[in-house]
Amino acid sequence: NAGVMQNPRHLVRRRGQEARLRCSPMKGHSHVYWYRQLPEEGLKFMVYLQKENIIDESGMPKERFSAEFPKEGPSILRIQQVVRGDSAAYFCASSPWGKTEAFFGQGTRLTVV
Amino acid sequence: AQTVTQSQPEMSVQEAETVTLSCTYDTSESDYYLFWYKQPPSRQMILVIRQEAYKQQNATENRFSVNFQKAAKSFSLKISDSQLGDAAMYFCAYRSDGIQGAQKLVFGQGTRLTINP
C-alpha cells in the first residue's frame, strides 16, 4: 500500500503565476488535510476535505487559495497569483474514517521568485 | 482555540544519553489526543508516539515515552539511549476529539534535536 503521494516535490513559480499542488491519499482513505509549514515553524492547518466536500476550511486564506478533492483523482491545492509570502512547504495528510492517525506525504516545497 | 507551545527551540544530547522535550498545550476540552511527530531533513512527518487524554497510563514506544500530565496540560517526550538517527525536528501536536473522523492537528513550533557522537 503506497503512502500519501504528493507531487511535485519542488515547485518554483514566478510572482503572479498559479501553483497547483497534488495529493493522492493512501488507498481506502477518504479524508484529506492540507497543512502549510513556513520556514522554522510548525505546520498550520489549512483545509479538511472529504470526497467532493470541503468540511473545514478555517485555515485557508480568504483569497487566492482553493482546494478540491474530486470523486476521482487526487486532491488539488491551488494558489492563484502567488506572492513571495506563499513560499513554504505544503503537506497533505490522509486518514480513513474513524481512525486516530493521519498519514503525511513528503510535502511540496513551493518557492516563489 | 487550542494552542500548543514548545519552549525549547533547540536541544542537544550525547549519543546514548537520555533527553526530554517539553510541550504544553491549552484547551478547554476533556477528550483529545496528543502526538509527537519527528521531521528529519527529508521533511517526512513521522509519527513517534500518541496519547489519548482519557488514558492515565503514559504511552511508550520502544525508546520513546511520554510524561502526560493532564491537569498541568503538559506532554513531554523522553528519548532514551539517543541514537544519531534521532536527530530531527520534533513537533508536539494536539487533536480534538470533537468531530468524528476529523484529524485536524494543532502543532507546536518544534524543537530541533541534535545528537552529539
Task: In chain A, count H helices and then E strands.
Answer: 0, 11
In this complex, the residue of A40, A89, A97 whose CB is nearest that of residue B101 is: A97
DSSP class of residue B58 equals P
Calculated CA dihedral for residues B108, A105, B67, B30, nearest 10 degrees: 70
pLDDT of residue A101: 78
Distance CA A78, CA B90 (A): 28
β pairing state of A75-79 and A65-68: antiparallel
Q: What's the one-letter identity of residue A42?
A: G
Beta-carbon contacts of A72 under 8 Å, excluding residues fewer than 6 positions away, are none
Count of beta carbons in the 10 Å neighbourhood of residue B9 = 10
Q: Write phi, then psi, for A81 (nearest 5 degrees).
A: 50, 60
Residue of B nearest to A46 (CA): B104
Beta-carbon contacts of B33 under 8 Å, excluding residues fewer than 6 positions away, are A100, B50, B51, B52, B53, B94, B95, B97
Residues of chain A falling short of pLDDT 50 = none
User: A53-79: per-residue pLDDT in tens?
Assistant: 999 999 999 999 999 999 999 999 999
Average pLDDT, 10 consecutive residues per value, chain B (117 residues):
94 97 94 94 92 93 96 97 97 81 83 96
pLDDT of residue A19: 98
> Closest approach of chain A CAs to the CA of B90, in angstroms?
9
User: Can you spell out the DSSP letters for B17-53?
Assistant: S-EEE--EEE-S-SSEEEEEEEE-TT---EEEEEEET
Q: What's the one-letter identity of residue A11?
A: L
pLDDT of residue A99: 64
Chain A within 8 Å of B33 (Cβ-Cβ)?
A: yes
**How far is CA B52 from each of CA A38, B26, B56, B90, B111, rounded to the nearest angstrom?**
28, 16, 9, 19, 22
Q: What residues of chain A lie within 8 A of the CB of B100, using their CB?
A: 98
In chain A, % helix, strand, coil (3-state, to 5) comes to: 5, 50, 50
**Contact yes or no for A45 and B104 at CB 8 A:** yes
Distance CA A113, CA B27 (A): 39
Chain A within 8 Å of B103 (Cβ-Cβ)?
A: yes
β pairing state of B32-39 and B46-52: antiparallel
pLDDT of residue B108: 96
Decide if A105 contacts A4 (C-beta within 8 A).
yes
Q: What residues of chain B lie within 8 A of the CB of A55, using their CB?
A: 99, 102
